[in-house]
Amino acid sequence: MEKKICKDKMAVAKAFAHDFSDMVKREGPIHVALSGGSTPKLIFDVLAATYGQTIAWKNIHFYWGDERCVPPTDNESNFRMTQEHLFSKIKVPKTNVHRILGENQPQGEAMRYANLLEINLDRVNEIPQFDLILLGMGDDGHTASIFPHEIDQWNAPDHCFVATHPETGQKRVSISGKVINRAKQVVFLVTGKGKAEKVRDIFHEREGHEQYPAALVRPTSGRLTWFLDEDSASLL
Ligand code: 6PG
């Protein structure tokens, strides 16, 4: 479990953008699952500004680790956030963007997306394998939309499932922990003081850390990197 500690959020964005540009310097197709929430906004802005003209975007297929069950135009939509901060600034073929259809009935969409992953990705022991999965982590230790109160969904039998946000009750479609841990490479992008306690608990394997879904991210490939800023790493 590698960690890269950068001064601040901008430094995380620059460091990740550099590494990402190296990761994708090869023949496609490269299948990447994106994280949502607010952390990726600056990261996507920097990626587009720094490498927008140099990365061969046509080789990259974009998916999401999770999506809120809202229309793609909704402020809560991870697709909309990615459209605003990345896709609107780069030339990526529309056929390379495989969004989770948040406007669809959740259970039906979870099944549809799971089938899409089966069709588009190689499978290893029946589990679709991403080349790269980006993850964030909530203050409660959730990742993708696998929340502590639903941690049994980590081993959901299907590749995707319908999650419920513990505070808002918002429905979300998420990939399972099995899909996360099958990825060739997983990168956490975690910044801010609010994450520091959980980062410490996970890295120090403190009592009860296994109740945090983010602590269960252990890709069998062994390629797991945490990009942290000094705030989120302040208790390490
Ligand atoms: C989502 C995410 C989620 C996110 C964390 C961190 O849809 O919200 O995929 O897992 O990465 O909640 O969110 P912030 O980046 O906003 O802190």
pLDDT in tens, 24-40: 999 989 999 999 999 99
Mutate to test the pocket of ligand 1, among 16, 35, 162, 195 (most ligand atoms within 8 A of CB): 35
What is the rounded average pLDDT of the residues 77-104?
A: 98
Q: What is the DSSP letter of 94?
A: G
Ligand 1: which atom is nearest the Cα of residue 78?
7
pLDDT, residue 96, reads 98
Residues with CB under 6 A from ligand 1: 35-39, 65-66, 78, 136-138, 142-145
Distance 78 CA to ligand 1 centre (A): 9
pLDDT, residue 20, reads 98
pLDDT, residue 114, reads 98
66 within a domain of the structure (yes/no): yes
Element (H, E) at 6: strand 2-6
Distance 195 CA to ligand 1 centre (A): 11
Average pLDDT, the chain: 98
pLDDT, residue 212, reads 98
Ligand 1: which atom is nearest the Cα of residue 135?
11
235 within a domain of the structure (yes/no): no
> Residue written as tokens 């990626």?
47
pLDDT, residue 170, reads 98
Which residue, by CA, sits nearest to atom 15 of ligand 1? 39
Question: Can you spell out the DSSP letters for 139-184?
Answer: TTS-BTTB-GGGGGGGG-SSSEEEEE-TTT--EEEEE-HHHHHHSS
Q: What is the DSSP letter of 30?
A: E
Q: Which of 37, 27, 21, 73 is nearest to 190 (CA)?
A: 37
pLDDT, residue 187, reads 98
Domain count, the chain: 1
236 within a domain of the structure (yes/no): no
234 within a domain of the structure (yes/no): no
pLDDT, residue 205, reads 97
Distance 23 CA to ligand 1 centre (A): 23
115 within a domain of the structure (yes/no): yes
Q: In what order do the strands lie in the sheet with 60-64?
A: 2-6, 224-229, 186-190, 132-135, 30-34, 60-64
What is the rounded average pLDDT of the residues 221-232?
A: 97
pLDDT, residue 144, reads 98
Structure confidence by residue, pLDDT tens digits, 43-66: 999 999 999 999 999 999 999 999
Domain enclosing residue 97, as ranges: 2-21+28-229
What is the rounded average pLDDT of the residues 8-33?
A: 97
What is the rounded average pLDDT of the residues 96-105?
A: 98
pLDDT, residue 70, reads 98
In this structure, what CATH number is given to the domain that contains residue 61?
Answer: 3.40.50.1360
